[in-house]
Amino acid sequence: MPPRWKRAVVKLSGEALMGNQTHGLDQGTLDRIAADLAAAAKSGVEIAVVVGGGNFFRGIQGADKGIDRARADSIGMLATVMNGLALEHAIEKAGQPARALSAVPMPYVCQPYSRQAALNHLGKGRVAVLAGGTGNPFFTTDTGAALRGAELSCDVILKATQVDALTTALLSLTDRAHDLPSGLTVPAKPVSNYQPAGKAGQLMTDLNCFSCHVINGRGSDLAPELTWEGSSVQRAWLQAFLKNPGTLRPALIRRMPRFNLSDSDINELTDYILAVYQTPAFDRDSMPTSGYPAAQVEQGKQLFYSKYGCQSCHIVDTKVDKGYVGPTLTQVGSRLTAPWIYHWLKDPQSLRPGTIEPNRNMSDEDAHALTAFLMTQKGSGRQEAKKK
Ligand code: HEC
Ligand code: HEC
């Protein structure tokens, strides 16, 4: 059967290579992934793999230990080269030629990355294993994958952090009967020319909001999508954030820049975002921001810590909770609108497609109680989570 796609970029996180271990490489997992990649390449798809390094080192963790960000990210880039070399070897062992290319030149170890070299290998049926990220600190492997996808004119970018998902994705590259599982692909090209209007629109263009945020299909996904930001956040919070952005999601490597906006610019942006970037799914004022009955709040707290174990990914109490995967929720009651939280809990993917927030088909009652509990979390800025 002829391949469905001509050329694909596969983003492989370092974590996918560690199998059940806590770090490093798991030989069985590595061989299995290599065999899948080799099979996809044998079927005639040109495959470029962008490897991450999180199984050895994560820049964000280094930065937490006091290593400055640029240096921590450089260590992370070296980790991707280690994975790249291991993967190159495993793919060749699986019977398919492969070449590791590093965006950070280290000619004694492997070929430096260039578009020309990568296209040359791909054209010869070799799997191109792309290490070193973009070659610059401050950019994640996701960005590396998007960049290489565009540069190498790939038809599709596959993104899989789990091995099973990756296998499914690779197998469907060659299968005409099935579409690729949604959630495993990211669009290889920008899809819209959306332009916001008026003074706020001008500010957003001048300040390049689209270089990090997607709004109405335009922009890049380095930061959270803002298309429905107006339904999600409270006015005072948004104003304060634009003035002095703090950390919301500890796991995000990138930070929102501080633009030194004037108060009038901040008001323009806030008014515009609140008025225009609204989901049709609900009215942002349909639930109160405070005044929930104590019993309901208590019930929500129980659900948070016991039934749903939300603290595995979130922090509400900075003294005991250890969840760094999702945003810190110490101030969520001053940040988000109650209907956003409620609808988020009922069906997170309807608000942010592809988010890893688990969808639990939660009952209305549980979602209301959790919303009540979270709306009481109005901690001051000082309480922001710090990793120890
Ligand atoms: C260099 C990249 C970058 C640029 C440019 C940028 N942002 Fe951000 N922004 C971020 C990141 C990263 C976050 C997420 C911060 C976090 O979660 O800790 C963010 C978060 C936000 C949030 C909060 C989102 C939420 O979760 O509620 C808003 C609102 C926002 N940005 C608005 C803007 C606006 C308006 C502009 C243009 C004036 C802009 N950003 C430009 C990187 C950027
Ligand atoms: C597997 C980890 C995980 C678990 C478990 C989890 N969350 Fe989340 N949560 C996330 C991530 C990741 C995000 C950020 C999503 C995004 O920005 O796309 C998030 C975002 C949120 C948000 C903010 C949404 C926003 O727009 O900023 C709320 C509120 C939330 N979670 C509540 C909960 C509650 C309540 C529970 C327990 C019922 C829970 N989460 C369990 C990972 C998790």
Q: What is the pLDDT along the chain (388 residues), one digit of tens a residue?
A: 556 668 888 888 888 888 888 889 999 999 989 988 898 888 888 999 999 998 888 765 666 677 777 788 788 889 999 999 999 999 999 999 999 999 999 999 999 998 889 999 999 999 999 999 877 766 677 777 777 877 787 777 777 655 666 666 666 665 543 455 555 555 544 457 788 989 999 999 888 888 888 898 888 777 788 999 999 999 999 999 999 998 787 666 567 888 889 999 999 999 999 999 999 899 999 999 999 999 999 999 999 999 888 888 889 998 888 777 788 899 999 999 999 999 999 999 889 876 778 888 899 999 999 999 999 999 864 444 443 3
Residue from 357, 360, 364, 373 whose mutation best tests the ligand 2 pocket (most atoms within 8 A of CB)? 357
Do 216 and 178 lie in one domain? The reply is no
Do 70 and 157 lie in one domain? The reply is yes
Rounded CA separation 14/234 (Å): 37
First to last CA, the chain: 53
Do 224 and 116 lie in one domain? The reply is no
> Is residue 309 in a domain?
yes
pLDDT at 60 (0 to 100): 59
Domains contained in the chain, number: 3
Edge-first strand listing for the sheet containing 185-186: 111-112, 98-102, 127-131, 46-51, 7-12, 156-160, 185-186
pLDDT at 131 (0 to 100): 94
Do 56 and 19 lie in one domain? The reply is yes
Residue from 241, 256, 337 whose mutation best tests the ligand 1 pocket (most atoms within 8 A of CB)? 256
Q: What share of residues in the chain are helix, strand, coil (percent, to 5)?
A: 45, 10, 45
Q: Which atom of ligand 2 is nearest to the CA of 248?
A: 27
Rounded CA separation 214/225 (Å): 5
Q: Which of 186, 218, 240 is the last residue of a domain?
A: 186
- By the 8 A CB rule, do 326 and 320 touch? no
Do 315 and 379 lie in one domain? The reply is yes
Q: List the beta bridge partners of residue 129.
A: 49, 100
Rounded CA separation 383/377 (Å): 11
Q: Which atom of ligand 2 is nearest to the CA of 370?
A: 35
Domain range for 204 is 198-276
Do 176 and 256 lie in one domain? The reply is no
227 φ, ψ (degrees, to nearest 5): -55, -35
> Is residue 289 in a domain?
no
Burial of 257 (0-12, 13-18, 19+ CB in 10 A): exposed
> Is residue 119 in a domain?
yes
pLDDT at 385 (0 to 100): 41
> Is residue 39 in a domain?
yes
Which residue's C-alpha comes closest to atom 39 of ligand 2? 310
> Is residue 388 in a domain?
no
Residue 241 CB–ligand 2 contact under 6 Å: no
> Is residue 323 in a domain?
yes
* CATH value at residue 43: 3.40.1160.10
218 φ, ψ (degrees, to nearest 5): -105, 145
Which residue's C-alpha comes closest to atom 17 of ligand 2? 224
> Is residue 82 in a domain?
yes
Residue 143 CB–ligand 2 contact under 6 Å: no
Which residues have CB under 8 Å from 388's CB, separation 6+?
none
pLDDT at 138 (0 to 100): 64
Rounded CA separation 109/24 (Å): 19
59 φ, ψ (degrees, to nearest 5): -50, -40
- By the 8 A CB rule, do 46 and 84 touch? no
Q: Which of 186, 217, 244 is the last residue of a domain?
A: 186
> Is residue 284 in a domain?
no
* CATH value at residue 230: 1.10.760.10
Rounded CA separation 162/16 (Å): 6
pLDDT at 383 (0 to 100): 40
Residue 355 CB–ligand 2 contact under 6 Å: yes
Rounded alpha-carbon distances, angstroms, from residue 291 to 237, 287, 288, 297, 384: 19, 10, 7, 10, 24
Do 104 and 246 lie in one domain? The reply is no
Rounded CA separation 34/167 (Å): 10
Which residue's C-alpha comes closest to atom 16 of ligand 2? 355
Q: Which atom of ligand 1 is nearest to the CA of 255?
A: 12
Rounded CA separation 28/17 (Å): 9
Do 34 and 158 lie in one domain? The reply is yes
The set of protein residues with a Cβ atom below 6 angstroms from ligand 1 is: 204, 207-209, 211-213, 222-224, 226, 229, 232-233, 238, 241, 247-249, 252, 254-257, 259, 269
How far is C-alpha 31 from the chain's CA centre?
26
Residue 314 CB–ligand 2 contact under 6 Å: yes
Rounded CA separation 261/242 (Å): 8
Q: How far is the CA of 348 from the centre of ligand 2 (A)?
A: 8
Which tokens go with 67?
Answer: 């290593």
Residue from 60, 204, 212 whose mutation best tests the ligand 1 pocket (most atoms within 8 A of CB)? 212
Q: Which atom of ligand 2 is nearest to the CA of 232?
A: 26
Which residue's C-alpha comes closest to atom 24 of ligand 1? 224
Q: How far is the CA of 224 from the centre of ligand 1 (A)?
A: 7
For 344, other C-beta atoms within 10 Å of its C-beta total 21
Give the three-state DSSP class for 114: coil
Do 55 and 172 lie in one domain? The reply is yes
Which tokens go with 43?
Answer: 């079927």
Specify the amino acid at residue 352: R
Ligand nearest to the CA of 345: 2
Do 124 and 49 lie in one domain? The reply is yes
Do 206 and 334 lie in one domain? The reply is no
Do 304 and 239 lie in one domain? The reply is no
Residue appearing with tokens 């280290």: 106
Ligand nearest to the CA of 358: 2
Rounded CA separation 117/350 (Å): 41
Q: Which of 276, 309, 326 is the last residue of a domain?
A: 276
Which residue's C-alpha comes closest to atom 8 of ligand 1? 256
pLDDT at 177 (0 to 100): 36
For 188, other C-beta atoms within 10 Å of its C-beta total 19
- By the 8 A CB rule, do 50 and 11 touch? yes
pLDDT at 70 (0 to 100): 74
Residue from 314, 329, 335 whose mutation best tests the ligand 2 pocket (most atoms within 8 A of CB)? 314
How far is C-alpha 371 from the chain's CA centre?
24
Beta-strand (E) ranges in the chain? Answer: 7-12, 46-51, 98-102, 111-112, 127-131, 156-160, 185-186
